Structures are given as C-alpha cells and as structure tokens.
Amino acid sequence: LFVFSSDIGAPPASDDVNHRYGGSDPGYIARNHPFRGHKALIWEGGTRVPGFVSGGSPLLPAGVRGTVSHALMHITDWLPTLTKLTAIPTPPLALDGIDVSASLLDGTVP
C-alpha cells in the first residue's frame, strides 16, 4: 500500500504572484491557483490538497483502482484508516481521526 498526501495550501504571502521564497529560483512561486484562499483559511486554497492511494489485492479491490474520489478527509484520519486497512490494532488511546476506509474501498462517505 502506497499513500501520498500533501501539506495544505501556500502561506498568505503567496497571494502576491511575484513573491519568491528564499529570493533565489524564480521557478519557486507559491500559489494556490485556481483555488481561493491560503493556509489558515477555510477556502479550498487553504484546505484542499492532492492525494492518492495505490495498492493491489487484497487491500484495494480492483473496482476502485484507477478511480477518483472527491470525498473530504483530514490528515488525522490516516492513522485509523490505515490501521483498519492493514488489520493493525489501534493504540488504546482515543484517536483524533476517523476510519474512512469505506471511502477508499467503495466510495461510501462516513
């Protein structure tokens, strides 16, 4: 099972399209285009990030491989989700996240 996720949007200073971090490589321009907002805001520019899960049987059924989901998930949901998918017992402490494995396996939104 391979999981990729990213950090949330660019910092507020990046609303200036000419802002360059570190003042060096002009290729490093931080933007959230086409989304509105930045880190710390509720708009998509501050919350939406790309992510994907890749794997074969038995973890990911053939019917969901290659599909796209627009379901919402928080970074804290990864631990309970991955422990459920891999049958690893969760820690005895309460977890902040929720298991969203159903979204990955059949598109069901928790």
75: its two tokens: 């970074």
- Do residue 4 and residue 45 come from a single domain? yes
- Cα–Cα distances in angstroms (integers) from residue 8 to residues 1, 41, 46, 61, 96, in the given order: 23, 10, 6, 29, 18
- Do residue 7 and residue 32 come from a single domain? yes
- Do residue 79 and residue 47 come from a single domain? no
Domain range spanning residue 86?
A: 60-110
Tens place of pLDDT for every residue, the chain, 110 residues? 888 888 776 666 545 555 555 555 554 456 677 888 777 777 887 788 788 888 877 778 888 888 888 888 888 899 999 998 888 988 788 888 999 988 888 867 66
- Do residue 73 and residue 47 come from a single domain? no
Q: Please say which residue of 54, 72, 91 terminates a domain.
A: 54
**pLDDT value of position 38:** 72
Q: How many domains does the chain have?
A: 2
Q: What is the distance between the alpha carbons of residues 33 and 17, in angstroms, rounded to a whole number?
A: 10
The structure's pTM equals: 0.68
